[in-house]
Every structure is written in structure tokens, then in C-alpha cells.
Amino acid sequence: MEERTYVEAARREKRAALEAAGVPAFAYRYDRSHSVAGARALYRDDMEDQGPVVALAGRIASLRSQGKTAFLDLEDGSAKIQLYLRRDELGEHYQILDHLDLDDHIGVTGRLFRTKRGELSVRPSEVTLLAKSLRPLPRGKTQSSEGGAVTFGGLADAEVRYRQRYADLAVHPEVREVFRQRARAVTWIRRFLDEREFLEVETPILQPLYGGAAARPFVTHHNALDMPLYLRIADELYLKRLLVGGLERVYEIGHDFRNEGMDRTHNPEFTMLELYQAYADYSDMMALTEALLAGVIEHVLGSRTLERSGLSLDFTPPFRRVSFIDGIRERCGLDLRTASEEEMRGVLIELGEPADAVRAMGGAKLQDEVFKVVLEPQLVQPTFVLDYPKPLSPLAKEHRSDPALTERFELFVGGRELANAFSELNDPDDQRRRFEDQVRQRAAGNEEAHAFDADYIRALEYGMPPAGGMGLGIDRLMMVIADQPSIRDVILYPAMRPEEG
RNA sequence: GCGCCGCUAGCUCAAUUGGCAGAGCAAGUGACUCUUAAUCACUAGGUUGUAGGUUCGAUUCCUACGCGGCGCACCA
């Protein structure tokens, strides 16, 4: 499949030499006494060269051979530590050293001590090869200096980083840390919801009828049933059916799939949290969202205030609130409840939007565009945008004080949408009319309009309790928490074209 | 889908108006018992993303294609 390089050939020769001498290149196990970080924590300066004996395992991250001694850096999942190998102390074990390479996994047992230069190190009495690395990692060299660490070489190509995430992770501890943060965040969110008596559930990913969002789906085919199935674009409609069934608080954390463009904030599959709470409305959802976000950020980062590209984002509740209608009216004078399409187009063109694109828009799309251009870029601090026009929100309940609006909010941070919530529409007759409107839009060419979901209407007819629901994009949350510019940096295996065209 | 940029040794990058494709690190051999970008000497390592074209001669200029990055479009 790929030609072997001279570097790899050299490693394979060493493997052969080791095996010829009866040393297995790929061992079965090694009894570690500590992680590297754990071992480092054991040592105190008054121990001098009589530190405790530890058994460690990890990769060779650096190798400085010096004739009858050698210094290696051993790196495991937790940290690095220097090894000091001496021919006169290792006997036969020293032979292995001639056939070790950077990136090999080894196990060592020895005493902790500090070198003359002050580096905490292990002085092994035994070295065991655990797994040979036959292909060199794209490792950089780092030199620590006053100005911080400088790296020479290394893995810089973003394409290789995403395609070979294993190599990216192996050489970049900071990338490993991003995904540890992600796991900590998701675990904390589950605990937060579990404590509030939310039930974690799983709903279908393969669906005969997709809905719950405006998006184009992936289509697949079930052979035995000989029918098309869609990968879900949202969990919403299945979760709300559970409220009808008496599961009063439910949530799901899982992948949604949208067959759309990819960029630094969109991956075709992404992780969503959706939750629904019976007998609550969108005001309750706002309070819940504030508590959840402030809590998870504080848990992962230790602070509710983040410094991000020179400005500080403060997640201390309550978040700012701005009304969709008022916010736009204050910025450009348009009242979207009464403005004509021509007025909206005029404002957009005046603000520099391409005229032909604007003329092609109408209805809900046009309102949405006005919001995106006029208001969205202003929403840097965590901000709830409240009360969206009805045509934009076919699953949200009509506003209790304005029939042109819905009780809905979206949360924006850094100009990007992070969460979306509403008082859930539970009047089956109203929902039926909204679906019918969607069907008309679909017939008029809007590929993203909802299909008519008769089973969902039937469920609502049994009586769904009033409820608040909220969806939170986990990937985008992680971009904020881990301070990563691209969604690909918070997804282990982002979507890529195949390597061979 | 459109535009711009990138693709050269295992890795990171050079290469004058088109004129023998180079360096650092990694690798191999040798020296070296406290190094940490270890050091020193020597050696090897390339179908310059792919396919065409122009030219005496192409990493360089042209066309197409592939993959990627960024921007736009698309996308609650």
C-alpha cells in the first residue's frame, strides 16, 4: 500500500536483531507501579538519590546516547520523565539499548533520583521492550527557553493531524487535553441532569421520517424492508413523544447528521444534547441553561470567566437577554412583525448584502437573514435572544402575549449559536396547521421544510403536558471551553474525503 | 458549488529572470559514563501531489485533476 522508507527499514532491522536474540518486539503486559505523573509526585528533595523504586511504562520521547550511558525521556499518558541508563548497572539489559528507537514503548524499573543538573529521573535496573515502533512519529523537538517552549519540526499539516489523529494525539499532549476536557464536560452535564431527575434515553438514529429541525438529511436504504431510512437531523420529536408517555424529564446526548456544507463550525455528524421537562416553559429552560453552562465551564476550567482572543466572556448568570424583534428594531428600525419583504430586502442591501442573493429570498428565510446580518454579530457575551417570529419556529408554542411570535430563545456566544429552546408546542391542532404550512413550503421548493408527521400529531392528541425543551451543541460548546477555532479540533475524527481519490 | 493559497527527503522548510534540488531535525557508522534541541566526524536519504503541455532544459510557466487550508455561498 505504501513504500517503506529507509527510516522504517532501519527499525525493522532492529526488530529482527532483537527477535534473533530472543527479545520479543511486542510484549504482552507490564506491571506498572505508577503513572509517570504519579511517580513524579512521589519524589521529595530530601530523598536525594534514594528515591522510591518505581515501575513505569511509556514511549521513548527522546533519546540521547552517550557511549556507556544514555538519557531517554519516557512519556506516558500523564507526563514525561527522564531515564538515566548506565552500562555498568544494566548488564544484559543495556544490549537492548542498541536496538531501541524513538517512539518504542518500554517498561523500566528503577529508583527515582535527581541528576546533577537537577532533572528528576529514574535510574533503571531493568529495561523491557514492550512494543516496537516501526514507523517514526512526526515528532518535533522542543527546546524550553525563557520565552516558552520552541518547537522544531513536528506535525504541522492540519490534514495529517485530522486523518492520522493517533499521530496527532501521540505527539501533542495539548490535543489529548482537549479531549479530556470534552469528556469531563460531558460527564459533568450528565451528572447535572441526572441530579435534577432527568432520565437519559436513546431514540432512533435511523428514522423513516426525519424532523425536528430544518436541514437536509442523509438517506440510506434498509434491504430487508426495502425502504429508505433517514439519519436523524434532531432528536426532538421522539423525545417529546416520551413526555406524552409520562417520562416527565428526558434527555439524550447523541449524534445528529445533516447533509450540508462543512466549515469550521459544521461537521456532517455532530453531538447534540436535547432535553425536555414537563410542566416547564422557556423561562425555566433559560434558568436551566444558565446553571448548566456556568456549572460545566466552572467545572472544566475552574472559572466562569474565559479570556478569548483578547476579550473576556463571562458566564455568570443571569446572561444578557435581548428580544428578537426589539433588538433588530433598535439596530435598523425594522419591525419584523409588520415589515414588508421589500423593506427587509432594502435594509439588507443597504447593509452591503449581495442584491441578487437578497432578492431570491422571501418569507421566513428573509427574516432569518435580517437577524443574522443585523443582530447576530453583536452577540459576543452569552446572550439569550428571545421570542422568534412564528414562521421561523414550527415546533414552538405561540407567545402568550403576541400571536405573531413564539416562546423561543437561542443562546449566542461569540456571535455563534450555542443553544436553542422553546416552550414546546403541544396543541395538536396548531401543530397540524404548522406542519401543513411546512408541507406547502416544501412543495414550493424549500428542501429543508418539515415533512408531515402524522404519528407525532397522534401522540400530541393523547395530551402532551406543557413542557420546555432545550438543545445544546456539544461540539460548539467545546470550541468555547477548549478555545479551539475549528470544530475539527474538538471532534476526534472529523469528516474527510478519502485519501485516495 | 465559487474564489484564493498550499502540496519538494521520515518531519519542518529553502531553491535567483526557467539552468546539476538544499538545510535543520530524524536515520546509519564511529567517538563519548550527568545529558536534556546533547556534542563531534563521516554516510545515506528525492519520479518536487497526479496527468498532460510549452521549452534545448520545468520545483519554477500553462491546462486539467486529486487532497487540504482559508474565505464566500449553503447551513436554525
Closest-approach nucleotide to residue A71, Cα vs C1': B35
3 state SS for A387-448: CCEHHHCCCECEECCEEEEECEEEEEECCEEEEEEEEECCCHHHHHHHHHHHHHHHHCCCCC
Give the three-class secondary structure for A3: coil
Q: Which of residues 247-276 of A touch strand B (CB under 7 A)?
A: 258, 260-261, 263-266
CA distance A437 to A435: 5
What does the DSSP 8-state code read for residue A261? -
| Strand nucleotide closest to residue A138 (CA to C1') | B11
Helix A363-374 to helix A341-350 angle, to the nearest 10 degrees? 30
Query: How do strand A219-222 and strand A227-231 relate by DSSP bridges?
Result: antiparallel
Grid coordinates in use for A463? 395530551
Within A 275-334, residues with CB less than 7 Å from strand B: none
Q: State the DSSP H helix or E strand holding residue A255, giving kind and residue range, or none if neither.
A: strand A249-257
Instruction: Copy the grid coordinates of residue A111.
Output: 529508583
Cell numbers standing for residue A290: 444558565
Tell me which residue has cell 518486539. Answer: A25
Which is it for strands A206-207 and A120-131: parallel, antiparallel or unpaired? unpaired
Closest residue (Cα, C1') to B45: A6
Nucleotide nearest to A448 (CA to C1'): B75
Nucleotide B7, nearest residue via CA and C1'? A157
Q: Which of chain A's residues 180-209 bind strand B, using a 7 Å CB cutoff?
A: none
Neighbours of A416 (CB within 10 A): 15
pLDDT for A157 equals 84
Cell of A490: 474538538
Contact (CB, 8 A) for A422 and A406: yes
* Nearest residue: Cα versus C1' of B71: A263
> Is the CB of residue A115 inside 7 Å of nucleic acid strand B?
yes
Q: Do residues A199 and A210 lie in contact, with contact meaning Cβ atoms separated by under 8 Å?
A: no
Q: What is the pTM of this model?
A: 0.92
Residue A156 CA and nucleotide B59 C1' are separated, in Å, by: 21
Strand B: which bases are under 7 Å from protein Cβ? 1, 6, 9-13, 24-28, 31-38, 44-45, 65-76
H or E segment to which residue A345 belongs: helix A341-350
Give A135-148 as a DSSP string. Answer: S----EEEEEETTE
Residues 33-62 of A with CB under 7 A from strand B: 49, 62
Cα-based distances in Å from A197 to A194, A244, A248, A296, A474? 5, 17, 9, 18, 21
* Residue with smallest Cα–C1' gap to B13: A153
Pick from A232, A212, A211, A237: which is nearest to A220 by CA?
Answer: A232
Q: What's A267-333 look like in SS3? A: CCEEEEEEEEEECCCHHHHHHHHHHHHHHHHHHHHCCCEEEECCEEEECCCCCEEEEHHHHHHHHHC
In this structure, is the CB of residue A448 within 7 Å of any atom belonging to strand B? yes
Nucleotide showing the shortest C1' distance to residue A5 CA: B10
Q: What is the CB neighbour count within 10 angstroms for residue A449?
A: 18
In sequence order, which residues have a C-beta less than 8 Å from that of residue A146 and are 6 or more positions away?
none
- Interface confidence, given as ipTM, is 0.89
- pLDDT of amino acid A351: 78
Tell me the average confidence (pLDDT) per consecutive run of 10 residues in chain A, 501 residues long: 71 92 94 97 91 96 92 94 92 85 96 94 95 91 59 79 92 93 97 98 95 89 94 96 98 94 91 97 97 97 87 93 91 84 83 75 78 85 92 91 94 91 96 91 81 94 98 95 93 86 45
Give the model's pLDDT for residue A341. Answer: 83
One-letter amino acid identity for A433? Answer: R
pLDDT digits (tens, 9 = 90+) for A382-433: 999 999 988 888 899 999 999 999 999 999 998 889 999 999 999 999 999 9
Separation of CA A277 and C1' B19 in angstroms?
A: 75
Does the C-beta of A82 come within 7 A of strand B? yes
Percent helix, percent strand, percent coil in chain A, to nearest 5: 35, 30, 35
Task: Report how far residue A115's alpha carbon sits from residue A109's, in angstroms, rounded to the nearest whole number.
Answer: 17
Q: Please answer whether residues A464 and A448 qualify as being in contact, where contact means their C-beta atoms are separated by less than 8 angstroms.
A: no
In the structure, how far is the CA atom of residue A495 from the C1' atom of nucleotide B53, in angstroms?
36
CB A47 within 8 A of CB A112: yes
- pLDDT the model gives residue A150: 60
Please state, in angstroms and rounded to a whole number, the distance separating the CA atoms of residues A170 and A178.
13
Asked if the Cβ of residue A395 lies within 7 A of any atom of strand B, the reply is yes
Q: Is the CB of A29 under 7 A from strand B?
A: no
CA of A183 to C1' of B48 (A): 43
Q: Is the CB of A118 under 7 A from strand B?
A: yes
Write the pLDDT tens digit of every residue in A167-191: 999 999 999 999 999 999 999 999 9
Residue type, A361: M
Q: Is the CB of A213 under 7 A from strand B?
A: yes
Residue A501 beta carbon within 7 A of nucleic strand B = yes
Take residue A83 and report the three cell numbers written for it.
531515564
C-alpha separations of A148 from A31, A81, A144 in Å: 35, 19, 6
Q: Residues A411, A415, A416, A419: what is their CA dihedral angle, to the nearest 10 degrees? A: 0
Map residue A234 onto helix, strand or coil. coil
Statement: the CB of A471 is under 7 Å from strand B = yes
Nearest nucleotide, CA A258 to C1': B75
What is the spatial distance, in angstroms and rounded to an integer, between the CA atom of A5 and the C1' atom of B5?
Answer: 30
- The candidate with the shortest Cα–Cα distance to A59, out of A147, A133, A166, is A133
Number of Cβ within a 10 Å radius of residue A424 = 29
